[in-house]
Every structure is written in structure tokens, then in C-alpha cells.
């Protein structure tokens, strides 16, 4: 199908809320997603990892310590144990009781309210673990509204084999010597470098676009870089401040 992240000429860049509106609410919770939507973000970026018993949850860190009242790796906790965690109090008392969402709950919420998910398969996943994620996306009728991204090439290959309908994005900390070749080899819909890499390589968006591939950059929270990146042809920006960036978009 059409590439959902490729920006038609003259239209605004996609605002992709990094872990939801993570500057304004606890990251990777339903409340941070709601804040992002109210701020005008059409896309939410969420990180996904399994519990001990294989249920995919939305969490960034390997361990639950920083963003919940629990301790240890999420892979050492059962789904029932993850469900009992408080993922809001660390951010502020107003958010007490926010949960670590199961991917199923996250997809339900998005389907009901509108919006798209940039789903990051975080860390190493087995093929069976990727299969469970794909199954959740399909079961919730969200295949047309999810793009799967990862730093892990194997996770993208598993996703492609299991679900050819899901668009893929490759996260990179540094540019590949030939990003277009990598994009073609993996069948990417979007290539995701840090914003600084695109600013340092102004021709990158053009060469990716010629191959039908979008470029989405992480993570931009200021107006100056926003304007420069838009001029270079960036398709979407991953940001912790979606409300502010949506405002800049609407102001054009
Ligand atoms: O979406 C890009 C960005 O989320 C990758 O870094 O550590 O925030 O998952 P991280
Ligand atoms: Ca991420």
C-alpha cells in the first residue's frame, strides 16, 4: 500500500509524540498519549517489550525502576505483576495510578480515539515474541495504522516475514554508508536517523524519497531545528513536545 509516512510536497511534517507527550505526562502511558492527541499529534511513538510470560507491554527501559514503583527487568515480571505497577507517581502525584499499558490496551485506546502508532520493538526479541506483537496489531484491527520500527534488524526481518502488510522503519544512531541500499534491502517505509545526521547530510531526504522511502528523525524539541529539518524534506519528527510542534505546524 501507500507509504503512510511519506509527506506530500507542501504538506506539514508528521508530528510523532515520543513515548506520548513525554515532556508533559509520564512517558508510555495512556495519559501521555491522550495529552499528545489533544496537542495535535497524529502519531504516537511507543516502545514494546514482553513480560516474563510473554505479554507485550509498552515500556522504554529494560528495568521498570525509573518509571514505576517496582524493581527489576520487565522480563522478570509476570503480566499480573506488571499490571499492579504504578507508572505515574514518579512523574507527579497527579498521575498516581497510571499503568504500564499492555500493548493490547494501547492499541484499543488508539483505535477508539484515532491516531497512528510508531511501534518500536525495543531490544532483542525472539521470532515468537515478534509474532505475538504482530498478532496483537492484527487482532485489534490496527495493521493500517501501525508502523513497526527497531534498532534491531532481526526484529524487522521477523516482522516482514510474519506480516508483509506492516510498514517498517529502521532506527539508526549513525547513518549507514549507503542508507538507500539498506532501505531497499530491508524494504523500509521510513529510515530513522538522529536529527543531527540529516542536518549534516542535506541530500539524504532527496535520495530516500527517490527510492520511495520516508525519513523520520529523532528527537527534536526546538523550533530552530524544526524549521531546518522541514526545509531539508523531513517527513516526520519524533518529539517530546508534540503540542508545541503541532502549533508551529498549524501556524504555517
Ligand atoms: O523513536 C526514536 C527513539 O525513540 C529511539 O530512542 O531510546 O527513545 O527509544 P529511544
Ligand atoms: Ca523509542
Residue closest by Cα to atom 10 of ligand 1: 60
* C-alpha torsion angle, residues 169, 174, 180, 186 (rounded to 10): -40
ipTM topping 0.95:
yes
Nearest C-alpha neighbor of 14 from the set 130, 117, 132: 117
- Bridge partners, residue 218, by sequence: 194, 238
Per-residue pLDDT averaged across 113-136, rounded? 97
Q: Pocket of ligand 1, candidates 219, 220, 239: which has the most ligand atoms within 8 Å of its Cβ, to mutate?
A: 219
Superfamily of structural domain 14-64+102-250: Phosphatidylinositol (PI) phosphodiesterase (3.20.20.190)
What pLDDT is stored for residue 189 in this prediction? 98
Give me the percent of the chain exceeding a pLDDT of 70: 97
What pLDDT is stored for residue 252 in this prediction? 47
DSSP strands (E only) in the chain: 14-18, 43-50, 56-58, 116-121, 146-150, 168-171, 190-192, 214-218, 236-239
Q: Which residue ranges make up each domain of the chain?
A: 14-64+102-250
Q: Respond yes or no: is residue 60 known to be catalytic.
A: yes
Evaluate if residue 224 carries a pLDDT over 90: no
Read off the DSSP letter of residue 12.
P
Per-residue pLDDT averaged across 193-200, rounded? 97
153 φ, ψ to 5°? Answer: -60, -40
- The mean-pLDDT minimum among 2-11, 13-22, 148-157, 198-207 falls in 2-11
Residues with CB under 5 A from ligand 2 (ion): 47, 120
Alpha carbon distance 133, 57 (integer Å)? 9
Q: Closest ligand 1 atom to the C-alpha of 218?
A: 2
What pLDDT is stored for residue 10 in this prediction? 83
pTM of structure: 0.96
What pLDDT is stored for residue 1 in this prediction? 67
What pLDDT is stored for residue 227 in this prediction? 86
Evaluate if residue 247 carries a pLDDT over 80: no
Nearest C-alpha neighbor of 16 from the set 151, 146, 116: 116
Amino acid at each position: 500500500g501507500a507509504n503512510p509516512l511519506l509527506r506530500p510536497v507542501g504538506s506539514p511534517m508528521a508530528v510523532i509524540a515520543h513515548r506520548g507527550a513525554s515532556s508533559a505526562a509520564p512517558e508510555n502511558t495512556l495519559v501521555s498519549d491522550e495529552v499528545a492527541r489533544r496537542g495535535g499529534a497524529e502519531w504516537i511513538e511507543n516502545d514494546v517489550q514482553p513480560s516474563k510470560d510473554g505479554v507485550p507491554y509498552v515500556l522504554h527501559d529494560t528495568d521498570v525502576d525509573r518509571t514505576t514503583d517496582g524493581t527489576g527487568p520487565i522480563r522478570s515480571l509476570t503480566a499480573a505483576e506488571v499490571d499492579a505497577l504504578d507508572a505515574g507517581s514518579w512523574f507527579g502525584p497527579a498521575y498516581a495510578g497510571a499503568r504500564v499499558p499492555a500493548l493490547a490496551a494501547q492499541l484499543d485506546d488508539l483505535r477508539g480515539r484515532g491516531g497512528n502508532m510508531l511501534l518500536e520493538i525495543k531490544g532483542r526479541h525472539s521470532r515468537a515474541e515478534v509474532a505475538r506483537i504482530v498478532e496483537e496489531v492484527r487482532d485489534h484491527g490496527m495493521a493500517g495504522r501501525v508502523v513497526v520500527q527497531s534498532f534491531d534488524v532481526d526484529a524487522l526481518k521477523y516482522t516482514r516475514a510474519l506480516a508483509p502488510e506492516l510498514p517498517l522503519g529502521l532506527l539508526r544512531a549513525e547513518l549507514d554508508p549507503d542508507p538507500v541500499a539498506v532501505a531497499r534491502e530491508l524494504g523500509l517505509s521510513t529510515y530513522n536517523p538522529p536529527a543531527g545526521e540529516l542536518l549534516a547530510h542535506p541530500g539524504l531526504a532527496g535520495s530516500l524519497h527517490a527510492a520511495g522511502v520516508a525519513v523520520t528523525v529523532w528527537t527534536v524539541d526546538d523550533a530552530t531545528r524544526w524549521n531546518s529539518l522541514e526545509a531539508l524534506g523531513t517527513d516526520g519528527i519524533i518529539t517530546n513536545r508534540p503540542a508545541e510542534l503541532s502549533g508551529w505546524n498549524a501556524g504555517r
